[in-house]
């Protein structure tokens, strides 16, 4: 009868996961990352779907997530976001990871899959909106968009308090900031009729701005808010 294998310690688990991800990597996928604005440095080249399946097999593990993040690889950080336990994520961890953000893929995944489920999320939207660095500032609005899509218990007032943050950031013409701000505005505006009215008013104001980035943001949001798809979504939600 064989003895059962002793469980790996944390260091060995990280080493084993990194080795597995390296084997899963593809040069063609890694080279293709550039087309989507993702840096191929420190990346193995693995499609997101495969990373999610890999993470699901691991299961929730906060300590392992922290250790994987520290390796610095694109895929290990993605897996860290998928396996971390939001109930154990601290405000200081969020700030630490935010400092490390260096591409939109990591920013959006961490905010959408993990940070929006923590009790610190709302405070970080406001704090990070004052950041100067491009991906750190994007994180504020990616997190706001994630909350708008996932936080069913949040009040309209919580979102209305974030509209001045959107207005203030609307003149930031850096690509990943303006797209993050746009995502935040459009997602909040699709949440319900009251928020749609407030976001539409802000979008109209931005669309008439002398600033080109603000105009772009306003027009993009108005185009979405006026679409039949959004009108049907809002009508359906109003009946619930």
Q: Report the residue count for the chain.
A: 240
Inform me whether the pLDDT recorded for 1 exceeds 60. no
Q: What are the residue ranges of helices labelled H in 151-192?
A: 156-160, 163-169, 175-189
Q: Could you give the CA distance from residue 65 to residue 81 in angstroms, rounded to a whole number?
A: 7
86-133: per-residue pLDDT in tens? 999 999 999 999 999 999 999 999 999 999 999 999 999 999 999 999
Q: What is the pLDDT of residue 6?
A: 58
153-206: per-residue pLDDT in tens? 999 999 999 999 999 999 999 999 999 999 999 999 999 999 999 999 999 999
User: Distance of CA 71 to CAs 9, 30, 52, 109, 148, Å?
Assistant: 16, 18, 18, 17, 31
Retrieve residue 159's tokens.
């979102």
Retrieve residue 227's tokens.
């679409």
Q: What are the residue ranges of helices labelled H in 25-61?
A: 27-32, 48-58
Q: What is the pLDDT of residue 4?
A: 47
Buried b (16+ CB within 10 A) or exposed e, 180-214: bbbbbbbbbbbbbeebbebbbebbeebbebeeebb
Dihedral sign from CA coordinates of 16, 11, 51, 178: negative
For tokens 């087309």, name the residue.
Answer: 35
How distant is the alpha carbon of residue 207 from its chain centre?
26
Secondary structure letter of residue 87 according to DSSP: G
Inform me whether the pLDDT recorded for 43 exceeds 60. yes
Closest to 93 (Cα-Cα) out of 56, 121, 53: 121
């Amino acid at each position: 009868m064989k003895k059962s294998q002793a469980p790996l310690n944390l260091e060995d688990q990280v080493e084993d996961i990194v080795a597995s991800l390296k084997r899963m990597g593809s040069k063609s996928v890694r080279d293709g990352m550039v087309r989507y604005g993702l840096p191929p440095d420190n990346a193995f080249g693995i499609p997101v779907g495969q990373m999610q399946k890999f993470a699901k097999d691991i299961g929730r593990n906060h300590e392992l997530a922290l250790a994987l993040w520290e390796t610095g690889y694109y895929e290990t950080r993605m897996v860290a976001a998928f396996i971390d336990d939001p109930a154990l994520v601290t405000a200081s961890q969020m700030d630490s990871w935010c400092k490390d953000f260096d591409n939109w893929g990591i920013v959006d995944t961490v905010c959408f899959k993990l940070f929006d489920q923590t009790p610190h999320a709302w405070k970080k939207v406001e704090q990070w909106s004052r950041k100067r660095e491009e991906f750190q500032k994007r994180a504020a609005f990616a997190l706001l968009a994630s909350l708008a899509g996932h936080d069913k218990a949040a009040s309209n007032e919580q979102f209305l308090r974030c509209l001045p943050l959107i207005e203030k950031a609307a003149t930031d013409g850096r690509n990943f900031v303006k797209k993050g701000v746009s995502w935040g505005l459009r997602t909040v505006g699709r949440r319900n009729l009251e928020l749609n009215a407030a976001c539409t008013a802000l979008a109209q104001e931005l669309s008439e701005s002398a600033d080109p980035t603000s105009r772009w943001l306003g027009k993009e949001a108005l185009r979405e808010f006026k679409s039949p798809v959004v009108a049907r979504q809002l009508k359906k939600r109003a009946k619930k």
